[in-house]
């Protein structure tokens, strides 16, 4: 693969609503590209991409696995994206590193909740898309209806570039409107052999009309095609070029169809990745910032440029960590150092691995545009930029939402604590939406995640994969607190601890601020000069308080703190720490404490006959219903709700709809917990 031209690389994600058939499609792709000698099936748990056991049991994708395949002289790096919103971090990081995306829709269900979520995320990152309408073999599948729904609901012109041959059980292949051929997929060979034949007579007229419509749409984007069309002589090359340009500029989405399960229409999806989705060069120069000087840095996506690479995933394995890296410019080489800007240190690249689900091949170097796994990087975390020391750049960090639920975890024996802590640390490095907090006073450890399913999966990994003997409590709401007003307090600390009198004096001003997501702490060091160690002790005290050491005992958000460590005779570190905490305790109490609960934005899809029950249940959960849309016998309900009200919803919805309902949820700000409810919960001001 040495000397592979950057324009022959495609970094592609495959995204879909749960159950649309993403895993089934991916398995076919691995098979047809020769990466795998038999087809894995989701339903019997042999799917290669889903190598976590949880995955196989649930049949959904949890971990984004990057896999390299070859297709007609191109290298395609496939990034598997998860189908559940509990795994936001995975979606976010995979979108960040892909250049194009195949979005899979169900031919019956059409545009479902999560396809829309994924679509909006792809919009945000400007990721060009190809759509694949799957399950054309199912009763009720309707290609043109889904094409329309994509245009109408997702707001992007959708261009059908195929037509299905045969309906439902009779679905046999696809008409390629670019070549004007019918493609069939040999059943005896698991669809491996693609046969191009004449378009069947009963489809000819429809195909001619569809092609006319396609050319008309495309001539809006390409003068070359417009001229050729006027002369009545358009060849496939010109059409593909026009589709490619319009797709890459996100002006439209070409739509294909097929049935992954029946092995029909998969190879044209691979062709579409190559023909229509961008190479790293098409995405243009990589733009970042210089870490210290306030200026933009641009590198061309070329192996001869200075290095820029983004670590987008870390997995910690038996042999050490494996860091998944997207190289944007320059190259990384086995055994040579790279510079990690966040840490300000060089690290040596161990082995470079081209990934295939759970198998790997060593390569000596990775060039601009490639996605590889790298060993030996001990300091690098998800979101870090790697570059060279002489040409520094920081790529925009990925943003991950704050976790919304927590659970207590406790080792079954004291001797198990060390191992438990190690495992939690590993998981925290791997997953940027999984957090661990220890309460120094009670000794309790809490784990935090994005939803019940997320914590359940992480919990099972802790107990089963890592075999830690621990008890995990029930999931609880990850509360936050904030303040209503600005308040200022000064506190003089004086206390005999041990044999010494500890002294310190700190003044703080706390203010609410809706533009700050967490807590912003500023040292307003005035003319009153005190030593740096004492000022630092004061700042630590402020941080401890802001983290939940005062008030209701939960981390503060949307708050600004300005503090000043003032001169005090015989001041000590303990004294300044204590003064800061006490000044904070008083200031936040004065400013008016507010307990907050995460609010979720949800979307529920259920067949019409169950919608009455679903709505009654949502009302009982005090949900705010936003909009309701019907399509094809399915009703979609959108709204917001406090996270605590949605515990157990997966099970509830399943039994209410006989397993036919689906829902997604994502964090959407916070709501105030009313005082009466707060008291019922037993939440009180610490030390109050
Ligand atoms: P994912 O959640 O998007 O990864 O979807 P899966 O690939 O796990 O597929 C979900 C279910 O749909 C499985 O039971 C598949 O066998 C089934 N499925 C996938 N593709 C097709 C298809 O083309 N036709 C039919 N009838 N079923 C399919
Ligand atoms: Mg899947």
Both 585 and 607 in a single domain? no
Give residue 36's pLDDT.
63
Q: Convert the pLDDT of each residue in 376-427 to its tens digit.
A: 998 888 888 999 999 999 987 766 778 899 999 999 999 999 999 999 988 8
Give residue 358's pLDDT.
55
- Please give the angle made by the CA atoms of 394, 397 and 402, to the nearest 5 degrees: 155
- How far apart are the CA of 135 and the centre of ligand 1, in A? 7
Contact 19 CB / ligand 1 (< 6 Å): yes
Give the pairing of strands 337-340 and 500-512.
unpaired
Distances in whole angstroms, Cα of residue 450 to Cα of each of 84, 140, 402, 653: 11, 35, 8, 19
Distance CA 582, CA 489 (A): 9
Which CATH number characterizes residue 493's domain?
3.30.230.10
Both 509 and 455 in a single domain? no
In-domain check, residue 431: yes
Q: Where do runs of H (alpha helix) occur along 220-289?
A: 223-230, 236-248, 267-276
Give residue 381's pLDDT.
82
Which CATH number characterizes residue 104's domain?
3.40.50.300
Contact 28 CB / ligand 1 (< 6 Å): no
Within the chain, which residues score under 70 in pLDDT?
A: 1-4, 35-65, 80-91, 113-114, 318, 356-359, 398-399, 631-632, 688
Which CATH number characterizes residue 437's domain?
3.30.70.870
- How far apart are the CA of 266 and the centre of ligand 2, in A? 16
In-domain check, residue 397: no
CA atoms within 13 A on the CB side of 268: 35
Q: What is the 3-state composition of the chain as percent helix, strand, coil, each rounded to the nearest 5?
A: 30, 35, 35
- How far apart are the CA of 326 and the centre of ligand 1, in A? 29
In-domain check, residue 212: yes
Distance CA 72, CA 487 (A): 67
Which H helix or E strand runs over 522? strand 519-523
Q: Which residue has the tokens 């919805």?
A: 653
- How far apart are the CA of 185 and the centre of ligand 2, in A? 23
In-domain check, residue 109: yes
Neighbouring residues of 513: CB distance < 8 A, sequence distance ≥ 6: 520, 558, 559, 560
Both 220 and 317 in a single domain? no
Both 76 and 160 in a single domain? yes
Contact 260 CB / ligand 1 (< 6 Å): yes
Phi and psi at 391, nearest 5°, equal -135, 80
Q: Report how many domains make up the chain.
A: 5
Q: Which atom of ligand 1 is nearest to the CA of 134?
A: 23
Atom 11 (ligand 1) nearest CA? 19
Ligand index nearest the alpha carbon of residue 18? 1
In-domain check, residue 395: no
Both 368 and 504 in a single domain? no
Give residue 282's pLDDT.
93
Give residue 372's pLDDT.
92
Give the pairing of strands 435-438 and 371-375.
unpaired
Nearest 10 degrees: Cα torsion 48, 54, 59, 64: -60
In-domain check, residue 686: no
Q: Are 363 and 371 in contact (CB under 8 A)?
A: no
Contact 102 CB / ligand 1 (< 6 Å): no
Distance CA 372, CA 377 (A): 13
Q: Which residue has the tokens 């759509």?
A: 131
Adjacency order of strands within the sheet including 74-80: 66-71, 74-80, 9-16, 100-106, 129-134, 253-257, 158-160
Both 177 and 209 in a single domain? yes
Domain, as residue range, for 110: 9-276
- How far apart are the CA of 405 and the centre of ligand 2, in A? 25
3-state DSSP call for residue 501?
Answer: strand
Helices and strands per DSSP (H, E), number in the chain: 16, 37
């Amino acid at each position: 693969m040495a000397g592979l031209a950057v324009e022959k690389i495609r970094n592609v994600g495959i995204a879909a609503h749960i159950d649309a058939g993403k895993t089934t499609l991916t398995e076919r792709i691995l098979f047809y590209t020769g990466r795998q000698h038999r087809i894995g099936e989701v339903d019997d748990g042999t799917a290669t991409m889903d190598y976590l056991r949880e995955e196989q049991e649930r049949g959904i994708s949890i971990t984004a696995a990057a896999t390299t395949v070859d297709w007609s002289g191109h290298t395609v790096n496939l990034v598997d994206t998860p189908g559940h919103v509990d795994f936001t971090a995975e979606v976010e990081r995979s979108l960040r590193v892909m250049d194009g995306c195949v979005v899979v829709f169900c031919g019956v269900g059409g545009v479902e909740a999560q396809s829309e979520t994924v679509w909006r995320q792809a919009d945000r990152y400007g990721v060009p898309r190809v759509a694949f309408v799957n399950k054309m073999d199912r009763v009720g599948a309707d290609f043109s209806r889904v094409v329309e729904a994509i245009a109408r609901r997702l707001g992007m012109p959708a261009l059908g570039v195929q037509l299905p041959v045969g309906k439902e059980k009779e679905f046999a292949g696809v008409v390629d409107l670019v070549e004007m051929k019918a493609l069939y997929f040999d059943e005896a060979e698991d669809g491996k052999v693609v046969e191009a034949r004449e378009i069947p007579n009963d489809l000819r007229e429809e195909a001619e009309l569809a092609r006319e419509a396609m050319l008309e749409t495309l001539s809006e984007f390409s003068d070359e095609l417009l001229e050729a069309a006027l002369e009545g002589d358009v060849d496939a090359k010109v059409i593909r070029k026009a589709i490619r340009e319009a797709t890459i500029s996100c002006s439209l989405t070409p739509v294909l169809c097929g049935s992954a399960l029946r092995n029909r229409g998969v190879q044209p999806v691979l062709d579409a990745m190559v023909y229509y989705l961008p190479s790293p060069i098409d995405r243009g120069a990589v733009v970042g910032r210089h870490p210290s000087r306030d200026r933009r840095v641009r590198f061309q996506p070329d192996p001869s440029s200075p290095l820029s690479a983004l670590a987008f995933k870390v997995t910690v394995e038996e042999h050490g960590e494996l860091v998944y890296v997207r190289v944007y410019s320059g190259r990384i080489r086995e055994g040579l150092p790279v510079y990690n800007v966040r840490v300000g240190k060089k690290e040596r690249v161990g082995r470079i691995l081209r990934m295939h689900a759970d198998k790997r091949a060593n390569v000596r170097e990775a060039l601009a545009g490639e996605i590889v796994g790298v060993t030996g990087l001990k300091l690098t975390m998800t979101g870090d930029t790697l570059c060279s020391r002489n040409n520094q750049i920081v790529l925009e960090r990925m943003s991950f939402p704050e976790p919304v639920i927590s659970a207590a975890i406790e080792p079954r024996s004291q001797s198990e604590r060390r191992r438990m802590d190690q495992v939690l640390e590993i998981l925290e490095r791997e997953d940027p939406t999984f957090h661990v907090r220890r309460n120094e006073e009670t000794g309790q450890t809490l784990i935090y995640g994005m939803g019940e399913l997320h914590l359940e999966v992480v919990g099972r990994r802790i107990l089963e994969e890592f075999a830690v003997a621990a008890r995990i409590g029930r999931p609880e709401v990850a509360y936050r607190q904030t303040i209503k007003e600005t308040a200022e307090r000064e506190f003089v600390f004086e206390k005999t601890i041990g044999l010494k009198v500890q002294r310190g004096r700190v003044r703080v001003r706390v203010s609410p601020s809706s533009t700050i997501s967490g807590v912003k702490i500023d040292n307003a060091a005035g003319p009153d000069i005190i030593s740096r160690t004492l000022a630092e002790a004061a700042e630590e005290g402020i941080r401890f308080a802001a983290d939940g050491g005062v008030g209701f005992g939960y981390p503060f958000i949307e708050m600004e703190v300005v503090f000043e460590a003032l001169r005090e005779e015989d001041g000590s570190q303990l004294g300044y720490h204590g003064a800061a905490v006490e000044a904070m305790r008083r200031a936040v109490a004065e400013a008016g404490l507010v307990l907050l609960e995460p609010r979720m934005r949800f979307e529920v899809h259920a067949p019409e006959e169950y919608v009455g029950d679903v709505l009654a249940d949502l009302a009982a959960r005090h949900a705010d219903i936003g909009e309701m849309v019907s399509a094809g016998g399915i009703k979609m309900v959108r709204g917001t709700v406090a996270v605590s009200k949605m515990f157990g919803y997966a099970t509830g919805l399943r039994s209410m709809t006989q397993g036919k309902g689906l829902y997604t949820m994502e964090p959407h700000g916070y709501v105030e917990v009313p005082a009466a409810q707060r008291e019922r919960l037993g939440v009180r001001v610490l030390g109050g």
